[in-house]
Amino acid sequence: MKPETSDPRVEHAASLIRNVPDFPKPGIQFKDITPLLGDSGAFEGVIDVLAESAPAGIDAVCGVESRGFLFGAPLALRLGVGFVPIRKPGKLPGTVVEEHFDLEYGSSVLAMHIDGIQAGQRVLLVDDLLATGGTLCASGKLIHRLGAEVAQVQVVIELADLGGRANLATCGLNEVLALLQTP
């Protein structure tokens, strides 16, 4: 993995992420972020870099279940805005809006409270990893359906060879920051 920036905080984070072959199924090279999360200085450094890279005027941070919560919630606190979870169906009480989408190995659904964000707000959309872009594209559609704008997508890791960034552009998500990229 190569850092998108020469920031030593990002370089340190990259050194902590390990590859786990054949997880969760054969042929998948899983990016394990738990060593990064276990190093408080490295974790704080990642949150700092994400906060410093956020556009001005963010009204809320939306994090995608489940590892997007790990970065989105502390980032929202750092930015002084609320955190809005985007979850799998049946996990949120109250009225939700849902988005069905395809993944590289099946299909899924994401849900968000209809009152989680307001029309006209500028939202920072956060997840741990960008692969093909299906999950983030569906999340962006949920945010747009509620009348808000995705000001930027932030991920810690981008699997660049899977074309997720280009797929996000087809969903109107053009502002993408990845701290680390695989070749």
Q: Any catalytic annotation for residue 44?
A: no
Closest CA to 142 of 105, 176, 117, 168: 117
Cβ atoms of residues 152 and 50 within 8 Å: no
Cβ atoms of residues 133 and 165 within 8 Å: yes
Q: Any catalytic annotation for residue 175?
A: no
Residue of 18, 44, 52, 104 marked active site: 104
With H, G, I as helix, E, B as strand and everything else as coil, classify residue 129: strand
| Alpha-carbon radius of gyration of the chain | 16
**Pair type for strands 122-130 and 106-113:** unpaired
Residue of 67, 87, 122, 165 marked active site: 67
* Residue numbers annotated as active site: 67, 104
